[in-house]
Structure 1
Amino acid sequence: MDMLIFKLEKNSKKPLYEQLYMGMKDAIITKQIEVGTKLPSKRKLADFLNISQTTVEIAYGQLLAEGYIASKPRIGFFVEEIDELPFVENKQAKIKVETVLKGTEPYQYNFHPGKIDTESFPFAIWRKYAKDLFDFPSKEYLQVGEPQGEYELRLEIANYLYQSRGIICNPEQIVIGSGTEHLLPMILRLIETNSKIALENPGYSAIPRIHLTNKAVPIAVDEDGLVVDELENTDANIVYITPSHQFPTGAVLSAARRTHLLNWAAKAANRYIIEDDYDSEFRYIGKPIPALQGMDQNEKVIYLSTFTKSLMPSLRVAYFVLPPALLKSYQEIFSYYSATVPRFDQHILANFMKDGHFSKHLNRMRKIYRKKHDRLTNTLTSFYPTTSITGDHAGMHILISVPLDKSENDLKQIANKSGIAVYPVSDYLLRPIEYEQPTFLLGFGGVALDDVEPAIHKLMNCWGIKRSHKKGKSHEL
C-alpha cells in the first residue's frame, strides 16, 4: 500500500500509539485502506512517520486485538473485513432528553407524598455507626451474606414489630430486600405463579406494573377501607391491602371488614393477604391502628413494610414477614437468591436500631410531621373552607378536593407552571372513578414547616381560589 499520512501531534497529551491506532482504525472503517491490504512493516512505518517501532507495535497490537487487522506469520499484517454499521444522520438531534441539574429541585414547592423531611435526619449519629463499621476490620462483610438478610437486622426488626405493631414473629420469618418492587414479585411467585391478585382502587401506583399483567383485579375503597363484599365476588385468591392507612385515601379498614377479610382468606388453602403497613408509624388522631397480621389465626397474612418514610427512601430497605407455613417453600424456591441490600448498610441500620436511635428518631419525626400536618390542614380550613380535606388522620399526605370546573390534568399543569408540584388522585387509579371534584394528594413531608402556608396560598392563588377573610390561626402553630 502507499504510505498513508497520519497526523501525529507529538506535543499532545494523547500518546502517539493511541493517535496512530485511531488514525488507522478510522482509515479502515472508511475504506481508505481496503480489505486485504498488507500494512507496512513496523520498521518501515516507524521510519516513515519518524516514530519508534514500539509505538507502531502497540498500535498494531490494539488493531489486532479488536479484529481490524490479522497477522500472518512471517508475512505481515492484513486489513480484515468489517461489517458496516447502520448510519443515522445527526444522531444527537434524534435524541431529545429533558435534563435537570443534579441536586436541584425543579419546583419551588413539591407536594410529592413520598418525600421526607431531610433537614431532620440524624446525620451525625448515622455517620458514627458507618464510621465504626469501616474503622474496625469487618472482613466478613465483604462476602455474600445470608439470603434472607443479616440476622442482626432481622432480629431488630422482629423486636420493633413486637413493640410497635403487636406482631409476634422470629427473625427466621423475615426476608429483607431492596424495596417493595423487589419483594412483591417474590411473594407472588412463592404463593402461586398463576394467582390473580386483588388491588385497592385507588391504590399504590407502582403495584399494577410489577409482573401483574392480566392478573390485577381492582377492588373499590370507601371510608371503611377495601370493600370486602366486592372481593368475595371475584376469582382473586390474593389481596394486596394497606389496612392501617389506605394509600392514597387514608381510610382505615374497619374492624368488621378486618374480620370479614380474614374469614375470606381462611376459606381456601391458596388464599393470602399481603398487608402493606404503609405509613403506620405516623398517626395524629387516636392510637396506632393494630396490624392485621396480629389478628391472623390461620397464617394467611404476609406482612410487608419498609424504612422509606421512617428513615429515608434512598436506604432501599424493605422486608416481609412470612407465615411459618410458607417458610419451607421460600427456602426451596429462593435458596440460590442473595440479599439485595448491602451488608454494611444492613449492619449500620441494625446497630442504629439496637441502641435505640431508631425509636428516638421516629418519636422526633412524629412531632415534626404532626406540626406540618396541623399547619397544612389549619391553613386550608381557615382560609379555603370550600376545599374539602380527607385522609388527614395519619400518614404524610392528605387528599384535597377543590370546587373547580377544570380537569385534574389542567390544574396540575397550572400548578407546575407556578413552580408547584401536585399529584392528582387519578394517577393512582387502576380502574376509572368519577370524582365529584378534582382531587389531589398533598404530601407535606418534604415541605419545610414555614413553607407550608405560603405554598398553599400560592397554589390556591394560581388556581383562582379566593382566600377567605376569616382570621386564620395557622401562623400560631
Structure 2
Amino acid sequence: MDMLMFELDKNAKEPLYEQLYEAIKRGIIDGSIPVEKKLPSKRKLADFLMLSQTTIELAYGQLLAEGYIVSKPRIGFFVEDIASLPYIDKPVLVPETKPTAPRYDIDFSPGRIDTASFPFSTWRRYAKDAIDEQQQSLLLAGSAQGEYALREEIASYLYQSRGVHCRPEQIVIGSGTEQLIPMILQILGDYNVYALENPGYQMTHHIIEQYGQRSLPIRIDADGLDVSELEMSDANIVYVTPSHQFPTGAILSAPRRAQLLQWASHQGNRYIIEDDYDSEFRYIGKPIPSLQSMDHQQKVIYLSTFSKSLMPSLRIAYFVLPEKLMPRYHALFTYYTCTVPRFEQHILMQFMRDGHFSKHLNRMRKIYRKKLEKLTAVITNYEAVNISGEQAGMHIALTVTHPQNAQQLSKQAKDAHIRISPLSQYLLKDDARYAQHLLLGFGGIDEEKISQAITTLFELWQLKKGANT
C-alpha cells in the first residue's frame, strides 16, 4: 500500500513509537486505513519516516497486541476488522453536506450586469500588454492609495462626468466599498452617530455595528432622504445614495441637497458620505451633479465603484477625501498596502486613458435604456403594478397590488426558480409603506428575454392585464 503520512514530533515527551501507534490506530478506527489493507514493511516505513526499524517494530507490536492488525507469516501486517471489538468507540461519520445555491431560471437581482456586452478583446489586449517584461515594476508593491496614474484618470473622469473637484492625492483605491468603508470609519474616528437611509444598504449598517458605532435609520420618500428627520436626530455623519437611492430609486431633490449640505456645515464634526454607486446610468434629463461638486465646506466624502460600470469581479472602488482629512488618512494608513493588484490597476488605467471607458459607458447606457424601455412597456400592460425609480440605474421598484405581500410574492417566485427581492429586506427599521414593494434588476437579463421573463413572473402571481392591452 502507499506509505503512511504522519506528523511525528521528535521533540515531544511522548516516545516516537507511541505517536506512530496512536496515529495508525486513529486511521484504522476512522476508516482512513481500510480493513484488510497491508501495512508497509517495517524497513520501508522506517526509511520513509526516517525512523529506526525498532521504533516501527514497537508500534506494530502494540497494534498487534491490541488486535488492530494481524500478522501473516512471510507476508506482512494487515488491518484487522475491528467492528466486533467491544471496546472500540468508533466515531459516527456524518455525511458531508454542501449547501447548494438556489437555481434561478430568471434572475432579477440588482447586482447583475450585461456580461455579454463587455469589451473582452480590448480588455484582453491591455491585459496582455501588462503581463510583459517591460512592466517589471508592477511586480513590486505600489502606493498605498493605488497607482497614481490610475488616480489621475479617475480624477479627470470624475470632474468631467460628475463635477467632482479633487486632485489624485485625495483619491484612495481599494478592493470594494466593503473594504473602503471601514477605512472611512477609522478616519472619522470614534464616538460618531451615523444616519443611514431606510431602506438602504444593509452592508453599511453591519460594518458600522462591527466597529462599535451607533447608527440611526432615516426615512426615505419620493424626494430621497428626509433631511428634516436627520436634523432632529443626534447623528453627525450621514451615508446617502443621492443620485439613485438604493433600493427605492428615489433621487435626492435639489432643495434636499442644499438642506443636507447646510446641515453638514453647522458643526465641525458633521460629514456626508456620498455613495455614487451607479450614477453613470441616467436615462431621463441631464446628469444630476454630485453632492461633492456642490460642497464648499469640505464636508463630503465621495465614494464610488467600477462594479456597475465595468464588472463586479474587478473589485476596484475608491473614495475621495476632503483635503482637511488627508493628514488623518496618512497618519493611520501610511504603512498599508493597496488591496488591488497593480496589474489590474494598470489595465484599468490604460483602458480609461485611451478613451475606452467612456465609449463603454456610452454603449452600455444605450443598452440598459433599451432594456428599461422594453421592461416598462411590458409592465404598464398590467393594472396592478406601478413602477418607480426608473430615471437611472439598473433596477426599478415595483409596487404590486395583491392579496399577498411582497415577501410572500418573492417566496412564490423563488419556488418557481425566479429571483426577485422584497424591498423590506433592506429595511433597518420596519416601515409598512414597503409591504407591497419589490426590487427588480434588469441589467443581467438579455433584452430579447425581458418580455417573456416579466410575463412569466406576472402570470405566476396571476396578475391581470389592463383593458387597453
TM range (shorter): 0.7 to 0.9
Contact residue 383 and residue 464 of structure 2 kept, 8 A: no
Instruction: Note the C-alpha offset of 1:150.
Output: 0.6
Please state if 1:28 is matched with 2:22. yes
Q: Equivalent of 1:56, from 9, 29, 46?
A: 46
**For 1:412-462, what per-residue CA distance to the aligned partner results, in whole angstroms no more than 9, with x for missing partners?**
111112221001000110000002751100000001101111011110111
Instruction: Note the C-alpha offset of 1:194.
Output: 1.8
Partner of 2:206: 209
Please state if 1:238 is matched with 2:237. yes
Contact residue 46 and residue 52 of structure 2 kept, 8 A: no
Instruction: Note the C-alpha offset of 1:295.
Output: 0.5
Contact residue 21 and residue 59 of structure 2 kept, 8 A: no
Q: Structure 1 vs Structure 2: percent identity of aligned residues?
A: 50
SS at match of 2:208: coil
SS at match of 1:210: helix
In structure 2, the CA distance between the partners of 1:196 and 1:55, relative to structure 1 (3 Å rule), is same
Partner of 2:138: 141
- Give the distance between the partners of 2:275 and 2:152, measured in 1 at CA: 20
Instruction: Note the C-alpha offset of 1:57.
Output: 2.4
Partner of 2:428: 430
Give 5+ residue unaligned stretches, structure 2: 9-16, 28-38, 63-88
Contact residue 153 and residue 350 of structure 1 kept, 8 A: yes
Look up the equivalent residue of 1:98 and give its one-letter code: P
Give 5+ residue unaligned stretches, structure 1: 1-8, 34-47, 64-68, 80-86, 472-477
Q: Equivalent of 2:150, from 140, 148, 153?
A: 153
Contact residue 20 and residue 56 of structure 1 kept, 8 A: no
Look up the equivalent residue of 1:97 and give its one-letter code: K
Contact residue 246 and residue 278 of structure 1 kept, 8 A: no
Instruction: Note the C-alpha offset of 1:411.
Output: 1.0
- Give the distance between the partners of 2:264 and 2:186, measured in 1 at CA: 18
SS at match of 2:22: helix
Look up the equivalent residue of 1:309 and give its one-letter code: K
Look up the equivalent residue of 2:250 and give its one-letter code: A
Please state if 1:192 is matched with 2:189. yes
Partner of 2:377: 378
Please state if 1:127 is matched with 2:124. yes
Instruction: Note the C-alpha offset of 1:466.
Output: 2.1
Please state if 1:261 is matched with 2:260. yes
Partner of 1:309: 308
- Superposition RMSD on alpha carbons, in Å? 2.9
Look up the equivalent residue of 1:431 and give its one-letter code: K
Pairwise mapping of residues 29-178 of structure 1 onto structure 2 (< 5 A)? 29=23, 53=43, 55-60=45-50, 89-93=91-95, 96-100=97-101, 106-178=103-175
Q: Equivalent of 2:463, from 429, 450, 465?
A: 465
Look up the equivalent residue of 1:220 and give its one-letter code: R
Please state if 1:324 is matched with 2:323. yes
Instruction: Note the C-alpha offset of 1:49.
Output: 6.6
Instruction: Note the C-alpha offset of 1:206.
Output: 1.4
**For 1:109-165, what per-residue CA distance to the aligned partner results, in whole angstroms no more than 9, with x for missing partners?**
100001000000001100000001113432211111100001011010001001101
Partner of 1:445: 443
**For 1:318-376, what per-residue CA distance to the aligned partner results, in whole angstroms no more than 9, with x for missing partners?**
00000000001100011121100011000000000000000000000000000001111
- Give the distance between the partners of 1:178 and 1:49, measured in 2 at CA: 50
Contact residue 208 and residue 215 of structure 2 kept, 8 A: no
- Give the distance between the partners of 1:151 and 1:442, measured in 2 at CA: 38
Look up the equivalent residue of 2:432 and give its one-letter code: E
- Give the distance between the partners of 1:361 and 1:276, measured in 2 at CA: 22
Look up the equivalent residue of 2:358 and give its one-letter code: S
Instruction: Note the C-alpha offset of 1:91.
Output: 4.5
Contact residue 402 and residue 437 of structure 1 kept, 8 A: no
Give the TM-score taking structure 1 as reference length.
0.82
Look up the equivalent residue of 1:413 and give its one-letter code: K
Look up the equivalent residue of 1:266 and give its one-letter code: S
- Give the distance between the partners of 2:52 and 2:187, measured in 1 at CA: 50
Instruction: Note the C-alpha offset of 1:402.
Output: 0.8
Instruction: Note the C-alpha offset of 1:260.
Output: 1.0
Pairwise mapping of residues 276-291 of structure 1 onto structure 2 (< 5 A)? 276-291=275-290
Contact residue 202 and residue 428 of structure 1 kept, 8 A: yes
Contact residue 424 and residue 435 of structure 2 kept, 8 A: no
Partner of 2:11: none
SS at match of 1:274: strand
Please state if 1:219 is matched with 2:218. yes
SS at match of 1:112: coil
In structure 2, the CA distance between the partners of 1:288 and 1:25, relative to structure 1 (3 Å rule), is same
SS at match of 1:261: helix
Partner of 2:273: 274
Partner of 2:76: none
**For 1:180-211, what per-residue CA distance to the aligned partner results, in whole angstroms no more than 9, with x for missing partners?**
11111111110122211000001112111113
- Give the distance between the partners of 1:365 and 1:314, measured in 2 at CA: 17
In structure 2, the CA distance between the partners of 1:88 and 1:262, relative to structure 1 (3 Å rule), is farther
**For 1:164-186, what per-residue CA distance to the aligned partner results, in whole angstroms no more than 9, with x for missing partners?**
01112110000000111111111
Look up the equivalent residue of 1:424 and give its one-letter code: P
Partner of 1:66: none
SS at match of 1:138: helix
Look up the equivalent residue of 2:188 and give its one-letter code: I
- Give the distance between the partners of 1:247 and 1:217, measured in 2 at CA: 17
Instruction: Note the C-alpha offset of 1:385.
Output: 2.6
Contact residue 114 and residue 444 of structure 2 kept, 8 A: yes
Contact residue 203 and residue 430 of structure 1 kept, 8 A: yes
